[in-house]
Amino acid sequence: MTRLFTNARALSEHQKSMLAEMLDSVFDNLDLTKTQRERIETAYNAVGNYLASCDDSLLEGAQIYPQGSMRLRTTNKPLSQEEFDVDLILFLPNARYATRDEIVKVVKQHLLDSDVYKELVEDLPRGLRINYKGDYHLDITPAKAYELEELPGHPLWVVDKRTGFKESNPEGMAQGFDKACAMLPVIRRSHVFLEALSKKSVAELPDQTKKKPLNRIIQILKHHRDVWSQLEGNPHADFKPISVIITTLACRAYVEVIKSGREYDNEFDLILDVIELMPHHIETFYDEVLIANPTMRAENYAEKWNREERQEGQKKREAFYAWHQATVDMFERLASENNRGMDNVFTALSGAFGERPVLAAKDRIVEAVNANRSNSNLGIVLGTGAITAAVAGKAHSTSRVVNDVVPVKRNQFYGD
C-alpha cells in the first residue's frame, strides 16, 4: 500500500489516540439529536401514510422507507446555509407495468391535492422533493419491483428522467454496510485523554447507541467534503464527490483492513489506512469507471464519471482525487499542528470541519482539563509529554500500565 501520510504516521501512539478522541468529540456535536431524528421520521411516516391512502390503485399498498445517510447512520448536521437531505424510497407494489411518467404523475398529483404538501412539492430527476424550507427536506424516489433476478435486499426499478427507470438496490447496499459496521477492528487502546480524565473506577457497559468506527469515519469524510467544497476559489466545488461514492469506497477499504487482521493501538491509524485504500477500490470496466452497488452491479454510483458532455465525467473524476488529496493534506496538517500545541490543533480542525462543532468540542475538552487541573489530577507522561489524568504517580488507564506521571501544578493565576 502506498504510504500517503508522513507526519501523521510519525506521531506517537499517545498523540494519535488524543487526536482520534478529539475528532470523535467534534463529531458528537454533528450527530442528529434524538429530537431531530424523531421529527424527520414523523414527517416521512406522515407522507407515506398519506400517499398510501390514495384511491388510485397505483398507490395502493405504497411503502416508504429511508435510504442513504439516514438509513446508514452517517448523517451530519448540515452547514449553516444548508438543509438536511433526507432520501426516501416510495415502493409501489402495484406499479409493475406502469411507466415512469404515469408513476410520477399520480404521486405528484396526490401530493398537490393535499393542503399540507401542495405548496412544498418540487420536481427532481428521480422523483419529487417535499421542501419544508427549514432545516430539512424529503427527497422521494418512487420505485417498482425488480423481478429479473434474485438479489439480496430490495432490488428496484427507480424512476429516472433520462432513462425512464434505473436499477437500484439501496436496502441491499445498506444491509451490506451494516455487516461491515459489525466487523470491529482490534484496538489495543488506552483511555489516554478524554475518557481517562473522567477517572471512573468501574468500567461502564458499552453504549449501544454509539457510532461504530465505520459510521464515524464516513461522517468525518463527508463533512470534510462539504467544508472543502465551499472553500473560496475551489474549482471543483460543483463536481464534489457524492456521498454514496465516499461511503462505498470507505466501506470497501474498511472491510479490506479488517480482513487483513491488522491490530491497532489507536483509531487514528485505522482512519489513515481507510483513506489510503479508498482509491484502490475504484474499478475500470471497458474504459469506464465503475463503483458498483455490491448487491446490484448494474447500479454504478460513478455513472456520471463516464459522461462526455461538457467534460462532466472528467471533472467529477478530477474533483474526487482533488478532495482525496485535500483529505490527506488535512490529516498531515493536524499532525504537524499537534506538535505546536492544542490551540493550533483546534485551529486546524476548524479549518477542516467548521468552527461551530470544533468550538463545542474545545469547550468540553478545556472544561475536563481545567477540572482535573484544579483537583491536581492532571499529569504529564514522562517520555511523551502527553497530558493525562494522574493517579498516585501513574497515568489513569483502564487497559494497561503506562509510564510514570509528573503531576501538573494547579494554575494559581487569575483571569482567563
Find the range with the poorest average confidence among 38-47, 125-134, 369-378.
Answer: 369-378
Question: Quick check: 394 and 401 in contact, CB under 8 A?
Answer: yes
Average pLDDT over residues 290-311: 96
Helices 312-338 and 342-353: crossing angle, nearest 10°?
170
Q: How far is CA 296 from CA 245, 265, 309, 406, in A?
A: 15, 36, 26, 58
pLDDT value at position 300? Answer: 97
Confidence of residue 187 (pLDDT cuts 50, 70, 90): confident
Please write the tens of the pLDDT for every residue from 11-33.
Answer: 998 899 889 989 999 998 888 88
Confidence of residue 260 (pLDDT cuts 50, 70, 90): very high
Confidence of residue 194 (pLDDT cuts 50, 70, 90): low
Grid look-up 427536506 returns 137
Confidence of residue 64 (pLDDT cuts 50, 70, 90): very high
Average pLDDT over residues 91-115: 96
pLDDT value at position 149? Answer: 81
Please write the tens of the pLDDT for every residue from 66-99.
Answer: 999 999 999 988 887 678 889 999 999 999 999 9
pLDDT value at position 222? Answer: 97
Question: Quick check: 58 and 98 in contact, CB under 8 A?
Answer: yes
Q: Is the pLDDT of residue 159 over 90?
A: yes
pLDDT value at position 400? Answer: 37
Cα(5)–Cα(229) distance, integer angstroms: 22
Confidence of residue 374 (pLDDT cuts 50, 70, 90): low
Report the chain's C-alpha Rg in angstroms: 24
What percent of the chain shows pLDDT beyond 90?
64
Q: Is the pLDDT of residue 402 over 90?
A: no
Helix H or strand E segment including 70: helix 69-72
Q: Is the pLDDT of residue 403 over 60?
A: no
Mean of pLDDT over the chain: 85
φ, ψ of residue 262 in degrees (nearest 5): -65, 140
Please write the tens of the pLDDT for every residue from 231-243.
Answer: 999 999 999 999 9
Q: How many CB atoms lie within 10 A of CB 81?
A: 6
This prediction has a pTM of 0.86
Find the range with the poorest average confidence among 165-174, 184-193, 227-236.
Answer: 184-193
pLDDT value at position 319? Answer: 98
**Grid coordinates belonging to 200:** 471512573
What percent of the chain shows pLDDT beyond 70?
83
Confidence of residue 113 (pLDDT cuts 50, 70, 90): very high
Q: How far is CA 342 from CA 3, 22, 255, 407, in A?
A: 26, 10, 33, 19
pLDDT value at position 385? Answer: 42
Q: Domains in the chain and their CATH numbers? A: 7-31+178-366 (no CATH), 34-168 (3.30.460.90)
Confidence of residue 275 (pLDDT cuts 50, 70, 90): very high
pLDDT value at position 295? Answer: 96
pLDDT value at position 245? Answer: 98
Please write the tens of the pLDDT for every residue from 310-357.
Answer: 999 999 999 999 999 999 999 999 999 988 888 899 999 999 999 999
Confidence of residue 126 (pLDDT cuts 50, 70, 90): very high
Question: Quick check: 221 and 274 in contact, CB under 8 A?
Answer: no
Q: Is the pLDDT of residue 158 over 50?
A: yes
Which of 62-76, 161-175, 194-208 has the largest mean confidence?
161-175
pLDDT value at position 270? Answer: 96
Q: Is the pLDDT of residue 157 over 90?
A: yes
